[in-house]
Amino acid sequence: MTLRGLIAGAALALAPLALGGCSSDSETDRADIGAGDDWDNPSGDWAESRFSRLTDINADNVGELGLAWEYDLGTSRVQEATPVVVDGVMYHGGNLGRAYALNAATGEELWRFEPDVDMQANRSACCDQANRGVALADGKVMVAALDGWLYALDAKTGSVVWKVNTITQPERGYTITGAPEVAGDIVIIGNGGAEYDTRGYVTAYNIADGSEAWRFYTIPHDPAEGPQESPALEAALKTWDKDSRWDIGGGGTAWDAITYDPEFDQVIVGTGNGGPYPLATRSPSGGDNLYLDSLVALDRETGEMKWYYQETPQDSWDLTAVQPMVLADLEIDGAHRPVILHTPKNGFFYVIDRETGKPHAANALVRTSWADGVDLETGRPNLTPESSDYRDGPKIVFPASPGARNWYPAAYDPTRNLYFANVLDMGNLMFIPPGQEDLPHRPETLSTGAALIFTSDLVEALGSLPPPVQKAVQQLPEFQSVKDMPWSNELRAIDPLTGATKWAVPAEGWQDRFGTLATAAGLVIHGNLAGKLFVRDADTGRVLKEIETGSSIMAAPMTYRVDGVQYIAVATGFGGGGWGFVPGYSAAYARGNANRLLVFKLGGTAVDLPEPLPPLEVAPPAPKQISGMTPAKIAMGQGLFLANCSICHSNQPRAGAPDLRRMSESVHSSFHQIVLEGLLLPNGMPRWDDVLSPEQVDAIHAYLISQQQALHERETELKRQGKPLDARTLQILSNY
């Protein structure tokens, strides 16, 4: 049994006592936070603090840090998981639901698992083929695949012990990108898809055999279909219009943070946004729409709700509450309280009581135009609909849908009471496009009902909008704030109770977001998209060591010790939300998206850098335009492409999905077979025959032919002038 399993078992034995009181002695609690030689779950310890008690690597010797070993993960998409190490074996969750077992001291492969994934799931994967890690318990490694299957693998051999399909409605746009969570003798998993046509839920399975223990739906179903599944949902139904868009699903998916709290024997679930985005479309008469954007505490044994706290009621802005949680013990008003430290998308830093679900603190970290504060007595935010309700015209909303915080894990150092996190201060222009006020349900396709332009692009993009929209945007009170500071992105050291920043350092760009690790030696460790690994002083943010890796890093590092040697490990690979837009400053753009595990120790060597990519070549000339195509049909094709294809195919240089302005003759000739018949389904290109007609596919193809010819002519001229072919053009990254 792992350390986490032992803690869970102890909590079960003491559950009546724990449920009857608050936190035990605070010094003991603080000493218990943090991982030791083992790092037994993706977040490191029972508190999910991403804090290590190891001190062998410290400020005095970190200059000697170098590469111990590396492992090629065999893919080139996205790496968001943090490895797990127990008893000298490293387990890692890779994209699509792959799993790896390695000798943690040498990197020798012990086994590798690649699930048989239904690649049609890519059509409902808003944010790449990500996976955030594995869970260990009872000699099993549990990992979830993108298409919704949960696997339990034999930890010694990698063979499948059991597997279960977690998806209740396969005809809807469900995926899984999160890590399973172990809670005693069960494992819990949620799902993604709130931007599509899903209804959120989490399911607990018995670790022994994969049988279902319980399931909790995060939002109600259509009341016309009969009683809700639980009293909690009957209560939630009162906060929804009876004529809500139940056909679309409603959202509320739990796609990332699920945390087991052994002190109160409860599973805390962070829930996602509503679908479609506009409240007026989703729930016409309004309402808080429970339990969207909430933390929901469930009894571990029964799955019944114990308490909830909704961080963003009446959500119209994609301000999810699924971001990682840290369990802690803080002195509040002279008493020690067990709390959750939570920084969701909505821009506030919450300190929430684990016993009651009541907030002790809620401080804004960034501009928050949707609310101007939180009333701690009621727990409700002070909503500002006059500046964020975009039914009657475009509005600028802070923070943007990528969130002030997102999946990128923070680290909490209990000895310093500092929370180290990447914080993005950026907004959206939000509006409802014509015809989207009452959008139809389309299976497994985006159903956001709103258009977004990030403030990073807004000033430059404004001239491309219709003149009435331009005028309306320029008159918005937030527009001056956009001009003054379109965005800011920093790594911050934050006091949880006050939200005050002790120190901050800027990131390379707004997309340069990353997870963090803190250690008892006073170190903060993180990577960046430019391919550097930083070791910083936890008290000042000063760089103590910088290592060039040549590979983009988003995932959080971890540390462990084997045979008396401390190691630091991190996975490399760009992707996730906005994966089609590879920033020019990133290592992924310059050197390719190498997916590797890099493991460091004192006395190690330099990292071998991937070779730089060759310069872009001129796009091939486009084939002859399709017969009978008119400007109106090509314009229709553009609209269909933007609505259905652009979330993957950004048509930007060196993007993860092919730039369809550079198609070869063979791809052009097979266009219908690819789009309608699934010719490239094994490669991840889904079929669209249930959504698009052959005539519509022709229109999309005609639009791409026109784009390819224009690009060919532009790049031919750039080459003649001796200019780089990837000279920047406006990239409106709105499907994030």
Residues with catalytic roles: 318
Task: State residue 484 phi and psi, 5-degree precision.
Answer: -70, -40
CB count in 10 Å sphere of residue 728: 8
**Residue 123 to residues 126, 173, 245: CA-CA distances in angstroms?**
8, 8, 22
Tokens standing for residue 238: 């009162």
| H or E segment to which residue 214 belongs | strand 212-217
Q: Of 635, 712, 701, 620, which Cα lies nearest the Cα of 668?
A: 701
218 within 8 A of 198, measured Cβ to Cβ: no
Task: State residue 672 phi and psi, 5-degree precision.
Answer: -65, -45
Q: Of 536, 570, 566, which Cα lies nearest the Cα of 556?
A: 570
Q: Of 347, 359, 458, 478, which Cα lies nearest the Cα of 401?
A: 347
B/e letters for 8-45, b = 16+ CB within 10 Å, e = fewer, are: beebbeebeebeeebbeebeebbeebbbebbbbbbbbb
Q: Of 491, 664, 512, 507, which Cα lies nearest the Cα of 582?
A: 512
In this structure, are strands 89-94 and 98-103 parallel, antiparallel, or unpaired? antiparallel
Residue carrying the six token digits 């090509």: 634
402 within 8 A of 578, measured Cβ to Cβ: yes
What residues have CB less than 8 Å from 154, skipping those under 6 apart? 139, 140, 141, 160, 161
B/e letters for 284-296, b = 16+ CB within 10 Å, e = fewer, are: eeebbbbbbbbbb
The residues with which 491 forms a beta bridge, in sequence order, are 422, 505
Beta strands in 375-450 (DSSP E): 381-383, 395-397, 411-413, 418-426, 428-431
Tokens standing for residue 715: 């790049």
Integer Cα distance of 447 and 427 in angstroms? 21
Q: What is the DSSP string of 463-488?
A: GGS-HHHHHHHHTSTTHHHHHH-SEE
CA torsion through residues 7, 13, 15, 18, sign? negative
CB count in 10 Å sphere of residue 302: 12
Integer Cα distance of 362 and 279 in angstroms? 24
**Distance, C-alpha 386 to centroid of its chain:** 29
600 within 8 A of 525, measured Cβ to Cβ: no
**Per-residue H/E/C for 322-369:** CCCEEEEEEEECCEEEEEEEECCCCCEEEEEECCCCCEEEEEECCCCC
| H or E segment to which residue 202 belongs | strand 201-206
Task: State residue 3 phi and psi, 5-degree precision.
Answer: -55, -40
